[in-house]
């Protein structure tokens, strides 16, 4: 605003300075004095051009930031739409039992109003608690805020959810959506921490492939190209038949 105001002031004062110069010259001003005034006028005009250039640079940066924010919203909307579309086609898989980890009872399979598939982790390094009615209601409420595009409220709700249910069958999903929401809200470093939590604490979770893919994307956005490539290659190698692997392949092809 200061740049714009100064530029406008110079634009308005320059014509009057020129008029004064011509008037004084007509009254007998010496050639040297007239030349000095003309030089000052040219200097003012150059300063106006410089300030206009600065203003255009600021407008460009502002438009660039707005576009990046819109891209984040579009990316999240696409992912939510994909989840909802898959939910209407594919039933939720049963939990696979493993000697090291107790399987979640079939009666406690989380179902959140058919808004998201694969909510239950397949194999986890920690013993997960069955999903209670209260946990499902809290998760459904938080996820509903995402569908309504109330991203800040959804972020707060998922923070509360993972705090209230740290070892729940839905906790891995909660951390994943916290990572997505932090991206939309501009907290890229925070999103890295949440996606890493999914991978490290909930290994084998159905969201693990998506979380690793997002770790590749965010690291690239932060300028860590080597780490980004490593995460994307990891998705392709470990989860070759998933949608995340397909997205990783396309994204990796564009990295230098």
57 vs 157, which has greater pLDDT? 157
Among candidate residues 147, 179, 160, 168, the one with its CA nearest the CA of residue 83: 147
pTM: 0.57
Interacting residues of 25 by C-beta distance below 8 A, sequence separation 6+: 34
The pair of structure tokens assigned to 209 is 């492939």
Position 109 scores a pLDDT of 31
DSSP, collapsed to helix, strand or coil, labels residue 183 as helix
Cα dihedral 52, 57, 60, 66 in deg (nearest 10): -110
**According to the model, what pLDDT value does residue 25 have?**
46
Q: Does the 102-253 domain belong in CATH 1.25.40.10? A: yes
Instruction: Select from 218, 211, 254, 213 the least CA-distant residue to 233.
Output: 213
Q: 38-46: which pairs have CB atoms within 8 A and are 24 or more residues apart? A: 41/14, 41/17, 44/10, 44/13, 44/14, 44/17, 45/10, 45/14
pLDDT of 70 > 70? The answer is: no
pLDDT tens per residue across span 13-59: 555 554 454 444 445 567 677 666 777 777 777 778 778 777 777 77
Give residue limits of the domains in the chain.
Answer: 2-69, 102-253
- State yes or no: pLDDT of 250 exceeds 60: yes
Name the band, by pLDDT with cuts 50, 70 and 90, for residue 241: very high
Given this model, what pLDDT does residue 114 score?
A: 38
Compute the residue count for the chain. Answer: 256
Asked if 65 contacts 90 with a C-beta cutoff of 8 angstroms, the reply is no
């Amino acid at each position: 605003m200061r740049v714009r105001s100064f530029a406008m002031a110079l634009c308005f004062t320059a014509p009057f300075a020129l008029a004064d110069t011509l008037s004084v010259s007509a009254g007998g001003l010496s050639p040297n004095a007239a030349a000095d005034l003309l030089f000052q006028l040219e200097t003012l005009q150059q300063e106006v051009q410089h300030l206009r250039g600065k203003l255009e640079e600021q407008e460009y940066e502002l438009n660039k930031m707005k576009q990046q924010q819109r891209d984040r919203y579009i990316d999240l909307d696409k992912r939510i739409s994909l989840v909802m579309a898959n939910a209407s086609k594919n039933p939720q898989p049963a939990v696979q039992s493993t000697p090291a980890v107790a399987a979640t009872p079939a009666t406690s399979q989380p179902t959140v109003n058919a808004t998201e598939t694969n909510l239950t982790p397949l194999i986890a390094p920690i013993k997960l608690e069955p999903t209670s009615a209260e946990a499902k209601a809290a998760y459904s409420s938080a996820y509903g805020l995402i569908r309504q595009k109330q991203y800040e409220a959804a972020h707060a709700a998922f923070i509360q959810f993972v705090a209230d249910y740290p070892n729940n069958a839905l906790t891995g999903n909660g951390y994943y959506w916290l990572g997505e929401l932090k991206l939309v809200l501009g907290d890229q470093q925070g999103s890295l921490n949440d996606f890493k939590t999914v991978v490290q604490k909930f290994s084998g979770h159905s969201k693990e492939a998506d979380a690793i893919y997002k770790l590749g994307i965010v690291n690239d956005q932060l300028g860590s190209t080597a780490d980004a490539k490593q995460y994307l290659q990891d998705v392709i190698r470990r989860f070759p038949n998933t949608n995340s692997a397909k997205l990783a392949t396309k994204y990796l092809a564009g990295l230098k």
